[in-house]
Amino acid sequence: MLLAQIETMGTGNPYKGFVLAVLFCLAGTGIGALLVGRLVQSLPKTAQWGLCGGIGLGFVGLATFFLGLFGFPDNFVPYFLVLAVIGAFGIWRHRQHLFAPGGAESVALPALVFFILLTRLPAALTPSTGADWDSISHQMAMSKEWISDGKLSYIPWMHHSNIPATVNLLYVWGLDLGGHFGEGINWFYAQAGAKTIAWMLGLFAILSVGGLTAHRFGRTAGNVAALAFAVTPVVLWEFGTAYQDVSHALFAGSAMILAAFAFTERKREYMILAGILLGFGLGTKYTAFQFGAALGLTLLLAGFLVKNKGEEPAKPARGLVQALWIGLIALVLASPWYVRNVVNTGNPVYPFYYSVFDGKNWSEANAHAYAVEQSQFGIGQQYDASGEFTGRSPTAIPGSVTALAIQPDRQINGGLPLGAIGPLFVIGILFWIVSGKSKAEHGLLISMIAISLLTWFFLTQQSRYIITLMVPGAFLIGGAFAALPRAFSVLTSTGIALQSAYTLYLFVWLGLQPEVGALRAEINQLAAENPPEHYLTEAIFENQGDLQQLRFPFWEANSQLNEIGAAARAAGQPPPKVALFDEVRGYYLTVPYMWANPGVHTLIPYDKIKTAKEFVDALRSLGVTHVYINLDANIIGQDRRLYLSSKICNVADWFTREEPPQLANYQQWILDSAAEGLMQLYNTYDQPLEPIPNTSDMRRLPPRGLLLQMVQPEE
């Protein structure tokens, strides 16, 4: 009876996913308390909740990995109930520590932090739009594919699905629990479960940062550190998405602080906790190798340089032993993902380091294209005479760190201020250095951050890739507020106040503005209970030409493909399979699809194709029946958009220049295929309207998306 009620509760809404995801995360906290409760008992209860929550969910994700190898259940609710019982027992058993009474303190800062986090909850409960790129391209999309396949399958056309995905397996739970309303899964509402899990992992990160800082500097400093982390723009933005960077920060960032504690306090439990957390970091993102290397190198150097208590000589073996133990624990916990990669692709860190490991379904050309893309972030790039990227100039390091704080356009796509790390990150490090008050523990964290920043600078300067460093960074900020001379404390307070005001301005004030405010639209969607399709197809700057934007531009084509698939299934025929070009956001598709651009896999032999017919034959051999090409000018350029739409739609007025733009090979082959009758135009999408001068009429502009259908060859 209970199973049936949980499975069918509601008639289709995001609140079921929210409630069950919160309960799921609390169950994970109880499981974490059973596993590591004794190891965290000496820490403040906020840190206990954060660390037990993160570690417990990490172990649930690891268990789900092995479950997925044998096959996922059709319904996760029975498994959820088992976890809930175990988790409730864990919380009850450790209730004396998790609910330990604390002394009187102001609730103002904790209340402010919680309010700030609540501003992103509407985004977690509403359907992801086009701006939530990674969530609907691969983070939730791969979890959806695994649910559809019924197992932890190899997805050959999505190279991201080979990157360690412990958190994505938690999204499997969220999607399944949040999407069941009777028969099948409603993928619109399912995502509320997955994104709520991401939101809860972020909350655990806040609790960990605050608790670990309070352990060293007191509760007020802990609250300050939690606030500093929460008002980091790129951190707060991710609270409304299914990205993994904040979850990764919970794991790898907390591991850094605990490793420093382990060295200075000589407590084995902190060393074990650091190893476990780093292991789940390695099981979530490859970037944990950078942070793990910085952690290990710092401990090794500290063994040589830091004197023991009582001014005894330094003991090099101490740092070495701790680094080895932390690394060993981490590698054991993360190893299933890397073994899976070897089995599926032959490369443990697929698709990276192809020149070293080789790898299935990848090539030197793919590896080069990927490296070039990553090199575009940040500053300091150097090129040879032919325009080939050759590396970065070390002289640009100061500018890069400054850009992190005040020039996010250098580190993220499009340069939105929501992607900034903010000046607090720099302040927390700088104040400890110039104050002369830094002790061994602070020096360890500063060293870990500095080494990590160096590797980040030379590899890829994406701001969200170092959200992890904001965990030890926030620890240092809280410490600067509480432990440094008054002048530094005042400056720290001022910096936090200014960044808090700026972040609230970005997310709340601008978010509530009419027409363009994201928060306003999310609240309206939840209050009105409009169909999700309505929210995704709302236009911003409607009837203002190319300024007009749909919340999810691909939805019109996506919806029609789903309708074609439903009709085919009803007729007992196989659904269409669509090849996506310059579009990867396939989460909402309910028909088979694949990414098809050069550089994302080798299923389409681009190095061998010479003609449009060979191109079509290659697609047909993969079962492709339809081709969708994204003509968004921000992605392919305005000239290409106008030219391709003009030629394929046969509207000469859309492109009047004599000289055509240079096209990518696949764009030329799609154009030639349409001209040669190998494909035919099925429909056009996202055609903005603009007024015709001196009239009251409107006209359609060139589309931003085209769907073509493969023409069946004559027998």
Residue with tokens 């939730």: 140
| pLDDT per residue as tens digits for the range 44-62 | 999 999 999 999 999 999 9
| pLDDT per residue as tens digits for the range 564-619 | 999 999 999 999 999 999 999 999 999 999 999 999 999 999 999 999 999 999 99
511 secondary structure, DSSP code: G
Q: Across residues 168-179, what is the average pLDDT?
A: 97
State residue 1's pLDDT score: 42
State residue 7's pLDDT score: 47
Q: Which residue has the higher pLDDT, 57 or 314?
A: 57
Strands 705-710, 626-630: parallel, antiparallel or unpaired by DSSP? antiparallel
| pLDDT per residue as tens digits for the range 360-392 | 999 998 988 887 777 777 676 777 777 677 777
Q: How far is CA 380 from CA 37, 73, 290, 452, in A?
A: 46, 50, 20, 17
Confidence of residue 2 (pLDDT cuts 50, 70, 90): very low
- Which tokens hold the place of 521? 């639209």
- Using CA atoms, how far apart are residues 116 and 98, in angstroms rounded to an integer? 24
Q: What residues form DSSP beta bridges with 580? A: 595, 628
Rounded to an integer, what is the distance from CA 363 to the centroid of its chain?
A: 25
Is the Cβ–Cβ distance between 554 and 133 less than 8 Å? no
Packing angle between helix 316-345 and helix 288-305, nearest 10 degrees? 160
- Using CA atoms, how far apart are residues 695 and 71, in angstroms rounded to an integer? 62
| CA nearest to 320, candidates 336, 340, 298, 335 | 298
Is the Cβ–Cβ distance between 176 and 7 less than 8 Å? no
| CA nearest to 124, candidates 237, 247, 3 | 237
Packing angle between helix 440-459 and helix 424-435, nearest 10 degrees? 140
Rounded to an integer, what is the distance from CA 496 to the centroid of its chain?
A: 25
- Using CA atoms, how far apart are residues 662 and 671, in angstroms rounded to an integer? 13
548 secondary structure, DSSP code: -
| pLDDT per residue as tens digits for the range 232-264 | 999 999 999 999 999 999 999 999 999 999 999
Confidence of residue 5 (pLDDT cuts 50, 70, 90): very low
Among 232-241, 339-348, 427-436, the range scoring the smallest mean pLDDT is 427-436
User: In this model, does residue 403 exceed pLDDT 70?
Assistant: no
| Domain-wise residue ranges, the chain | 2-99+119-350+399-509, 547-710
Confidence of residue 457 (pLDDT cuts 50, 70, 90): confident
- Using CA atoms, how far apart are residues 153 and 265, in angstroms rounded to an integer? 44
Residue 3 CB coordination number (10 Å): 12
- Which tokens hold the place of 93? 């058993």
User: In this model, does residue 400 exceed pLDDT 80?
Assistant: no
Q: What percent of the chain has pLDDT over 90?
A: 74
Q: How far is CA 541 from CA 414, 509, 547, 549, 689, in A?
A: 19, 19, 6, 7, 10
DSSP string, 410-470: GTSGGG-GGG---THHHHHHHHHHHHS---HHHHHHHHHHHHHHHHHHHH---GGGGGGGH
Predicted structure pTM score = 0.94
State residue 428's pLDDT score: 86
State residue 414's pLDDT score: 56
**Dihedral angle over CA of 278, 449, 287, 55, nearest 10:** 20
**Dihedral angle over CA of 99, 105, 106, 112, nearest 10:** -40
Confidence of residue 210 (pLDDT cuts 50, 70, 90): very high
State residue 297's pLDDT score: 97
Q: What are phi and psi of 382, to 5 degrees?
A: -125, 140
